[in-house]
Structure 1
Amino acid sequence: MIIRGVELKNILSHEYTKVTFDYGVNVIVGPNGSGKSSIIDSILIATIGVCEKAREVSRSTLDNILRVGSTNGLVRIEFEIGGSKYTIERVLERVDGSVRSKSIELRKDEKIEAVGVNDVCRRLREILGVRDLIVLPSTLISRQGYLSYLIDMTPSERGERILELAGLSRLEEVRENIKTAIKTLEREVARLEEKKNQLEEKRRRLREASREVEELENRLEASRVKCESLDNEIRNVKVELDNLERLSRSIGELKRLEELKLAIDREKQAILEYGSRLESLPVSIINLLEELKDKYEKARDCSLRLKRLNEKEVDIKSRIEKYIREAERLGLKPEKLDAKQLNEVLDSVKKSLEEVNDKIRILNYEVSVRSNMLNLSIEDKCPYCGAPLTRDRIEHIKSEHTAKIRELEAKIREFRAEKEKLDSIVKYLEAINRGLEDLSKVFEEKADYESCINEYLRLCSEIGEKHYNIRVESIQECPIESIKRDYNLIQRLRGEIESSSRRIEEYKSRFNEDLYKYLRDEVARELDKLSLSIDMVDSRLESARRRYDKLIDEKSRVCSEMARIEGEISRLKEEIARLENEINELEKATVKLDLKRRIINVLGILANNIYGRDGLVAKTLIERLRASFEEEVNSILRLLGRDFSIRVGSNFKIIVMRAGQELAIESLSGGEKTMLSIASRLALAQILIDNPIRTLILDEPTEFLDENARKQVFEIIGKIAGQIDQVIVVTHDTEVEEIASKTIRVSKIGDKSIVEEE
């Protein structure tokens, strides 16, 4: 795989970054914290991070991978394998504070190859030639701080890790699956043996069930005979019960008709009593009483209105007197005038008022004209003769008009005083006139109300003298309470008579004389036939009902017993069928019992001797893996010109060999340890990855090394670059630029990473 480019948008400290990589040594250089390692992290996020969650995949969790304040981000990686160009694009989004993958797709030569996590991961494993993508960060892609993690492990941890990467740990899973199968078979054999022991018991139970079915069928036939006998008895009792119920209904209907007949007689008697009481009352004046009742409320209302009109009359007269006094103060004698004369005087005063207003308007106009003369100047001409004006002439004209204006204004004041007097006279005369009109209306209304009251008194007097021996002179003397009492009593008695009449008609509508006679005769015949009296019918009917209910209960019990027996027979037959099937299955199962015991023995040999971590297959594969790992590491160390080699023990303990001596890993210098770490990663890649090694990514490989060790590491990187197509190195050491085919500089301004390619 050759990495061709990385494009980032809102990822970690990169707002937007696009980087391309060439063959040879590609160096990403910059100070610590500038964001250079984020480019390597993005390669892992877009590829391995989609499918695996191991800690060596990425330094950042998905929730903090987006730039602060961003709601979405993008990682796009372009790479080549086998002459084809691939692109992985992963889009991230922040939803409710959490970051998740919105979409991921894999393209081959611009055509979509896979979409979604499962398809993309499956296709990546195929094109990269690995069983698990987690192999890559343990071999060809070294994140910062993880370069030597395999070397730093204890032998047992290292062995576990290498076996896990190689997939050999699955042999233990196979062994456990075999053990699970053995346990399943053993449980099945135990069940079969138990069933074999139960076979004779089931055969015995089958014989018992057959005998029980025969006995129950005999009991069922006896119950059927009894049920038929009960049906006959029930039919006989039902005939008797129906006859008695019909007789009881006829008796009930006869009693109802007799009650209606009695009710009609009671209502007729009540009508006679109400008529007798009405004869003692003055019924002949009922029409007068109704008329008086209607006029009573009206007369009372008229009396109240008349009282208010009298008060209004006093108020109007008071106001008229007030206006008359005001008019007399102005020199008039309106109390001596009738309405016609008052209107004539009012018209005369209004005419005089119009004349005074006209004079005031004329005088005001003349004052206005003469006031204009006071504004003459030397440039104007004489308004009378048209000659030029002199100053003396102007003064003369002004003096003359000023005097005239004063005279006119004095006249205007006189006329205005006269106008005010005339206005007041008109005001008071019109007020007197309105008062007289209001008074006239009051008199007319009083006449109407007095007529209403007099009509009521006439009618009240007529009734009082004729029926109560009372002479009525005023409203208060009218015996209205006695009249009301008699009126209400007459109306109530009439209402009672009418109600009784309606009830008689209603009772008659429900009473059928012919039916009454028929039922009376029919009931008598039935009672005689049964030798019963009416009082005995109900007890005889209740007795028949009890006998009928008892027979029904007895039949229900017999039927229930029949149903229970039928159910028991059905259950036993089902049990017989089930037992026959089970016996058949048990007989077949016992034939398989010996075969399953032999299978258990074979599976035990596989689980104990062949598979598992200590099995023959595992020991063979581990030995081959150990030998291959040792051989590949030493081959790479020789290629790099190192003066030491390693020996890998059976437990994957690494022993350094130098000049025939065994040394511990701790005896290596920092640079040598880094070289051994790189050789170990390349060796594992040769073993675990099917495709040829073309790319190596190292993030800060010289971390914590001195200057001499760093130079050794860079020298080794240069040699590796001569053997594979592409090496990508992330470092803050600028010395690496001496071996670089391409340099990518990363800096940081504020919180944003800036990338420049050289």
Structure 2
Amino acid sequence: ADIRVIEEQEKRLADLIKEKEDKRNKLVNSQNELNRLKDEEVPLIANIEELENELKVLEDKRNKYFVLDNQLSLALQEKNEISAFLEKVKSLDEEIKNVDNQINQLSWVEKASAYKEELATLVKQKGEISRQINKITSEIEKVKKNLELKNKLYPKFEEYQKAKDEYDKIMQVHENYTRLSGEIKSLKTQLNRLKQQLDKLGKIEDIEVVKRKIEQLDEEVKRKREEKAKNIAEKTRLENVLKNLENAEGGKCPVCGHQLDKDHIQKLVEESTERIGDLSSNIINLEKEVKQGEKYLEELRNKLNILTKAWQIKSQYDTSQSSIEEKEKELESMEELEEKYFQLQRSLKDLEPLFNQYLSVKEVTEERLDELLRDLSSFQSNLQELEEKEKELKEKIGDEKVLQKAERDLQILKQQYSQLLNKRGEKHAKEERLNDLNQRIAELKSKISSLNYTEDYYKKVKEEHQNLDKRLRDLQNNISALEKEIEILSADIDNLSKKIDEDKKNVSKLPSLENAIKKIDKLRSDLGGTGLQNFLISALKSKIENNLTEILGKFDLAYSTVELDFDLSGRRNKSRAEIKLFNNAGQDFTVNQLSGGERVALGLALRLAIANSLMEDVGFMILDEPTVHLDDERKKELMDVIRSSMGIVPQIMVVTHDEEVRDISDYIIQVEAKGNGSRVKEVIPDDQQGL
């Protein structure tokens, strides 16, 4: 087959050489066209740069032209607006003079207005004084009534004060009486509760008797625990003796080294076995007795806690009863004062409204009444003076309607005069602005003329630049296309050269390949069929058995030793293996006698043993869908086996759809279908949360 491939490569080599020559010719033509286009590009770029420089100058002039033209338009517009305004205000000075004469004719109005303002102020003062007189008159009446009430209530006030002083003196006695009553009530409630608790508890035993029982039982339980520990130690020792007797080499005692015959060994085994049985029975009985003792000990301790609580309750009951008797005697001595307290309380309640009424008028005095009468006389005198002055001002003002009309006319004239003065100032400012505008317009026209710019010439140059620029872009696009084509052709030629060199090397290998094929045919003849497999099995059998026994020892199984028996019947036939298993007593089992979990453990251990025999260290193990076709019981057994295997293989990777495998996992990578693809995420197991 390899020779046929090389012959095909010889044919392909000729085709590649021809294809390379065609592409080389095409490359030369493309390079010539590229050189021609680049020669045409240089003068075109120079013309464009020349037009760009000219356009830059024209655009600068154009910007200046538009700025100046806009400024000229604004200046001419403002000039026309000012000229129209000045035409409207030709007669402004004459209008100002007429309004000023009218204002002078009404000069008397300002003096009359001052009298009018003085009259308004006087009327306000008069109204305020009248209100004060009414207020004082009302207050005088109130003070007279309160003085009469004060004198009438004074005896009740004194009676209240006397009762209040006596009430305050026995207040502390009442508070103590109330406190003692509450305490007695609380103590009686507590006493009833304690009596109910004592009634429930019934007869109270002696605590010391119970304590002695606890101490005696505790000693007994400790003694049985020690006896149980001694039996366990003796049993362990005898089990080790039995194990050593089973493994004794050359009939020698594993303890003392003396020579033993089979009968002697059998006798020792039987005696040890019988003794182990007796010890096991004793251990079970002692364990039951310890548990019963501990249970009874717990009951006694609970009883002791209840008795302790009962004695505490009885002590509290006696204390509470004694305290109630003492407090009731003290309460009886206070009853007379307590009755007096409530009598005073009722008296104060009856007198309190009259007392509060007296307090409300207590501060009212004869001196305050005299003061108010003096204030009333003073305000009445002031009111009379203001009424006389009011009469004088009304005579000076005259007809109020005529004055009001004259005031309105004067106010209108003053507003007109102010507006006219403002307009005259605006006129002077406009005249000055008009002179400035005439100078500005002349300057702008001169600057526009000196620019020597026309919009038509600018558009012509710009259009010529756009045409040349488009022509240059088309030319450069053609150059880029040719350069890309040249790059692709060069790459194709390089690839063809590499393929040609590679095919030449392969064609040169033809003689050595023919020789290698002959050697392979001979090796296939010698190791065909199961020859190589049988060789490996015979060489590694003992190593696999040792590894398998060592691995099974790490599982908690009923057997500990395994033997493999391979039937190597011939080079062309497949080998078969028989597996035997032995327990510690030397009994043998076949695979069919094993439970489902034991078979799973054996299968996994056998694979690990073969792997360890073929390589120095097994770094990891991959289990692909190991739970398929297993029922729930077999799955559980497989999980236990995998847990046990974690101490043998550093890493175990399980590929599965079974959620139960999560329970034994330290690290999970979960793959889920998501649309047309898959989503991969890391999952932290529950028992690893927070680590």
- Which structure has the higher relative contact order (CA within 8 Å, separation 6+)? 1
Q: TM-score range by the shorter chain?
A: 0.3 to 0.5
TM-score where L is the length of structure 1: 0.33
- Structure number with the higher strand fraction is 1
- Structure number with the higher helix fraction is 2
